[in-house]
Amino acid sequence: MRFTLLNLALLALWHGTSAAGGGNLPNIIIIYADDLGYGDLSGYNPDAAYQTPRIDRMAAEGIKFVDAHSPCTICSPSRYGLYSGQLVHRTGRRTTAFEGPSGPSYLKPGVPTIADMLKQQGYRTGVFGKWHVGLTWYDRAGKRLGGGFENSLLIDYAKSTPLEDGPNARGFDASFVTPNCPTTDPLYLYIENGLVPVPASQRYQRSSVPNLGGKWRWDNDEGWMAPGYRFVDADLLFYEKTIEFITTHRKNHPEQPFFVVFSTQISHAPVLPGAEFRGQSGAGPRGDFVHQLDVLTGRLLDAIDGLGIDEDTLVLFNSDNGPETVHTDWMRQDHNHDAAGGWRGMKRDGWEGGHRVPFIARWPGRIPAGQVSRQLTNTTDIFATIASLVGYRLPDEIAVDSFDILPAMLGIQDDNQAIRPHMLTQSFRGEFQIRQGNWKYLDHRGSGGNNYAKGILKQYALPETAPQATGQLFNLAVDPGETRNLFFTESAKRHEMQLLLAKLATQEGGRSAPRNREPIGMENIPLAK
């Protein structure tokens, strides 16, 4: 059935901004994968070189979105989108991946995060794993340090901690994170609740970690690390911290709902599966790495079932962007596995392969099992969707790129009635792409990220059908591979898309989400049939 505001008005009274959601609010878990492409799960790719039965089970017991997208085609801006519900260009900053100390955070003071919102609704909140939205560090003179790996040695931890823009200053009650990519970018250390238990004091050598298959250690940078830092088992440690948070909270506060983000490094480079997972996939080290993610997801689902909270817990699975370039090439050549799932492009690219990602939601008893949705969605939508669930009325100035897709999750709004009339994404260079229905306009030439004129990517270059065009226009309904640029032949549609982009992307006052977003509230959510 179609879902409208009129339907809701007949169901119940609306909740104000500060009102609790009513009913027994569910626990919420987000499993956030890294560089996991659309084709990296067997439930999305029937020709995958390996199987992901546990994540596939999650989809079979809930809903799988097949037109879901990351806000950006690299990690830091996408993570900002998850936590803030908006695109990173609204901060006035570039689409940059943070390295070294770097900072300050994309998450500005006074801008509520999804964790802030849920704390206001009575949740205990936690995040464990990769943070990577920028942190502020100071030297002995009190000067803020920028990027550059050698700046790690200049950090004055007494002046820098508790971190002024760490997770605990942005709405999380508990946190155990790394500043950047846990196995890729120094600074290599752990941050626990805004403090650094062990500072970085050792020079890390790349040769100290496995080089599985002779090439999968690529993109592991040397720099400064804390003694005892775990590279190979980073995701196992983050998983352990996630489970510890959940079990301890349930023991001490069984009546209080929790919100937790398990932010993995899988399948970001370097590929470092734990010892128990090596050789298990039949598809080399990266297949083993994704297998590890599948196993950890299954263990997490089993853990909440063992605690008796399975039907009281919404679990979301998502990825921050498409698959890494060399990984995609190697998996195609070595294992006939397409991590991009048939879409053009990869990580960094504005084409579909750069930002079309898996998105799964599971909530037994509330989300009907076995659904496949073709609703256009973005990671930014998680914010408004959860706000709607818990009965929080989002102010217009918050999460300005976030749409409420809860009606689609619940199976009470079908694909024939689009929730999103349009969607913005950004490529590696910060250039925009916009969707409107099946039409897609890229406000740039080429990929927006990678160079397809040379190297291993040259083999994936496609002929340019409109070489004089300053942008790209595709009709995905008839050309899902983005092969025929209609920039000139469909000039009226191109002009329409350009005007819409200019309106939605305006930094000051711009927004893509609707105003006056009314929450549904827990008391209005039906039991699944």
Predicted confidence at residue 427, as pLDDT, reads 97
Q: Is residue 189 part of a domain?
A: yes
- Beta-ladder partners of 174: 126
CATH of the domain at 264: 3.40.720.10
Number of domains in the chain: 2
Predicted confidence at residue 21, as pLDDT, reads 36
158 shares a domain with 100: yes
Q: What is the DSSP letter of 69?
A: E
Mean pLDDT, the chain, rounded, equals 93
For residues 105 and 159, the answer to whether their CB atoms sit within 8 Å is no
Q: Is residue 15 part of a domain?
A: no
Better-predicted residue by pLDDT, 96 or 255 = 255
The predicted-structure confidence for 421-451, as pLDDT tens digits, reads as follows 999 999 999 999 999 999 999 999 999 999 9
438 shares a domain with 401: no
Give how far the C-alpha of residue 218 lies from the chain's centroid of Cα atoms, to the nearest Å.
22
Q: Is residue 81 part of a domain?
A: yes
Q: Is residue 1 part of a domain?
A: no
Q: Is the pLDDT of residue 15 over 70?
A: no
Better-predicted residue by pLDDT, 506 or 346 = 346
Q: Is residue 19 part of a domain?
A: no
Give how far the C-alpha of residue 415 lies from the chain's centroid of Cα atoms, to the nearest Å.
23
The predicted-structure confidence for 244-256, as pLDDT tens digits, reads as follows 999 999 999 999 9
Spatial CA neighbour of 30 closest among 242, 388, 318: 318
Q: Is 394 helix (H, G, I), strand (E, B) or coil?
A: coil
Q: Is the pLDDT of residue 6 over 80?
A: no
Average pLDDT over residues 484-510: 93
Predicted confidence at residue 17, as pLDDT, reads 43
Q: Which band of pLDDT confidence, cut at 50, 70 and 90, is reported for residue 385?
A: very high
CA distance 168 to 380: 21
517 shares a domain with 378: yes
CATH of the domain at 489: 3.30.1120.10
- Beta-ladder partners of 432: 426
- In one-letter notation, the amino acid at residue 199 is P
Q: Which band of pLDDT confidence, cut at 50, 70 and 90, is reported for residue 228?
A: very high
- In one-letter notation, the amino acid at residue 194 is G
Give how far the C-alpha of residue 237 lies from the chain's centroid of Cα atoms, to the nearest Å.
20
Average pLDDT over residues 175-202: 95
430 shares a domain with 416: no
Is the bond preceding residue 270 a cis peptide, omega within 30 degrees? yes
Spatial CA neighbour of 242 closest among 188, 319, 293, 300: 300
Q: Is the pLDDT of residue 18 over 60?
A: no
Q: Is the pLDDT of residue 12 over 70?
A: no
Q: Is residue 498 part of a domain?
A: yes
CA distance 380 to 504: 15
472 shares a domain with 434: yes
331 shares a domain with 198: yes
Least confident of 189-198, 234-243, 501-510: 501-510
155 shares a domain with 79: yes
Beta-strand runs (E) in 89-240: 124-130, 174-178, 191-192, 202-204, 223-225
201 shares a domain with 106: yes
The predicted-structure confidence for 507-525, as pLDDT tens digits, reads as follows 666 899 999 999 999 999 9
Domain that holds residue 123: 30-420+513-524
Q: Is residue 384 part of a domain?
A: yes
Q: Is 191 helix (H, G, I), strand (E, B) or coil?
A: strand
* 19 dihedral zone (left: phi>0; alpha: psi -120 to 50; beta): beta
Q: Is the pLDDT of residue 2 over 90?
A: no
The predicted-structure confidence for 28-62, as pLDDT tens digits, reads as follows 999 999 999 999 999 999 999 999 999 999 999 99
471 shares a domain with 334: no
404 shares a domain with 431: no
For residues 153 and 224, the answer to whether their CB atoms sit within 8 Å is yes
Q: Is residue 364 part of a domain?
A: yes
- In one-letter notation, the amino acid at residue 81 is G
Q: Is 521 helix (H, G, I), strand (E, B) or coil?
A: coil
444 shares a domain with 316: no
Q: Cβ contacts of residue 513 below 8 Å, gap of 6+? A: 85, 384, 399, 400, 401, 402, 403
465 shares a domain with 406: no
